[in-house]
Chain A
Amino acid sequence: MAAYVKFWGTRGSIPTPASWTRVYGGNTPCVEVRFDDTIFICDAGSGIRELGKDLMARNPPPKELHLLITHTHWDHIQGFPFFAPVYADATRIHVYGRQANDDLTYRLLSGQMSSSYFPVSFKELGASVVADHLNDGQKEIGGVRVRSFPLNHTGGCLGYCFEKEGRKIVYATDNELEIQADDLFPDLDNSGPLRRAPEELAEMAREADLLIIDAQYDEREYMTRRKWGHSCCFSATDLAIQAKVKNLALFHHDPESTDRAIDEMVQACRKRAARHGAVLTISGAREGVEFKF
């Protein structure tokens, strides 16, 4: 058994096609997490369009997909009407709420396809799109243990943890790791101690093979964007170190971040991890990159 994770959209807030976003990509969040034949799709940002094309080109195209939306801000749902499998008769797509009768995500996904917004209505879709749910935040799907957990974001947000046969993938975007009273901030010369990570989040991420985490800002940017619902990369790194994560992917890149700026954030975070003696591989989440665990 192997777990595969592929990034189809890594940008936050709004699609950002530009020469200076060509490396990390300009599509909004969409991550494919696959355990053998069981395919989970985390978020339906604009990156899901390319994923849809890829899925339809697979031999055979998958008949069942599991869509887990972190929250319904535009950048996490806007790609859904352009997701090719929703037009394929043979496909069954499960859209999950956190618990029974929680069909908010399903309703908002379908709502953005009302005629004022989009020419094809939800009822005309070929695929069977069904409102499904976790059971109080967890469920076994295709032999994979899936858990949701709350994140700190304007209007609320869920992270997801996937586990099977010793592999663990954690997706935690749109989350603000707030600076605590005894934290050193800003740590502009990258010399300070670790910031204390929220215990529940650190426990969820503990010893994950891969933690995909919101790290929208560098230290200087975060000085003017506190309480915006996103984290700075040093706090994200400190969480990963304390949770003894094996691989960390900095995610939800700011629309203003150039490829070079993200490279610099990754380098700074690698230095920070090395300074704290952590065995942790850090990368910037990049469209078109796939990991295998």
Chain B
Amino acid sequence: MTEFDSTSIGPDKPLRRGRESRRHSLEQIEGAGAPCQILLEAGENIMGREADARVHLGSKRASRHHAILRLRETDCVLFDNDSHNGIFLNGVRIHSAVLRDGDVIQAADCTFIYYEG
């Protein structure tokens, strides 16, 4: 029988490792620009009609800075940025929400699926 080597889990070794190969992302499935995949960055990701938006909404119904996706250490939070036409999570208009894998987000004429990293 092989003896268990405790040095293999010594204090200088991480107990668990975060997965670095997958990042939080949106898959756009409807609206101008679809289909496409958008990788989210740590911190704030603007969703809107303006050119500086990381998640671009190609729709006249979209506000310039329509919503914000805030990627935190543990999760991603979606905020409506006082948009004119609102933001919908799984078919329901919300003001903010902690996102979960597979959530469907609608903004103006665009639809996205959120994937956790």
Where the two chains meet, the residues of A that have a C-beta atom closer than 8 Å to any C-beta of B are 4, 6, 22-23, 247, 281, 283, 286-292
B95 A290 Cβ-Cβ under 8 A: yes
Measured between beta carbons, the chain A residues less than 8 angstroms from B80 are 292
13 A-B residue pairs with Cβ-Cβ distance under 8 Å, sorted by A, are A22-B100, A247-B92, A281-B92, A283-B90, A288-B77, A289-B89, A289-B94, A289-B96, A289-B98, A290-B94, A290-B96, A290-B97, A291-B95
> Within B79-117, which residues are at the interface with A (CB < 8 Å)?
80, 89-98, 100
Count the B residues whose beta carbon is within 8 Å of the partner chain — how many?
13
- Nearest A residue to B79 via CB reads A290
B100 A289 Cβ-Cβ under 8 A: no
- Nearest A residue to B116 via CB reads A22
Measured between beta carbons, the chain B residues less than 8 angstroms from A4 are 95
Pick the contact of B100: A6, A23, A281, A291 (CB < 8 A): A23
Per CB-CB distance, the 4 closest pairs between chain A and chain B, nearest first, are: A288-B98, A292-B95, A290-B96, A289-B97
Expressed in whole angstroms, the Cα–Cα distance for A290 and B86 within the complex equals 13
Expressed in whole angstroms, the Cα–Cα distance for A287 and B92 within the complex equals 15
- Nearest B residue to A282 via CB reads B92
Measured between beta carbons, the chain A residues less than 8 angstroms from B97 are 286, 288-290
- Nearest A residue to B95 via CB reads A292
Measured between beta carbons, the chain B residues less than 8 angstroms from A22 are 100
Measured between beta carbons, the chain B residues less than 8 angstroms from A292 are 80, 95
Measured between beta carbons, the chain B residues less than 8 angstroms from A286 are 97
Expressed in whole angstroms, the Cα–Cα distance for A286 and B78 within the complex equals 14
- Nearest A residue to B90 via CB reads A283
Expressed in whole angstroms, the Cα–Cα distance for A23 and B80 within the complex equals 20
Expressed in whole angstroms, the Cα–Cα distance for A4 and B82 within the complex equals 13
Smallest beta-carbon distance B40→chain A, Å: 17
Instruction: Taking A281-B91, A288-B77, A288-B97 as given, write out 9 further A-B residue pairs in contact, using a Cβ cutoff of 8 Å, ordered by the A residue number.
Output: A6-B96, A23-B100, A247-B92, A281-B93, A289-B89, A289-B94, A290-B94, A291-B94, A292-B80
Smallest beta-carbon distance A270→chain B, Å: 8
Measured between beta carbons, the chain B residues less than 8 angstroms from A287 are 98
Q: Which of A4, A6, A290 has the most CB of B within 10 A?
A: A290
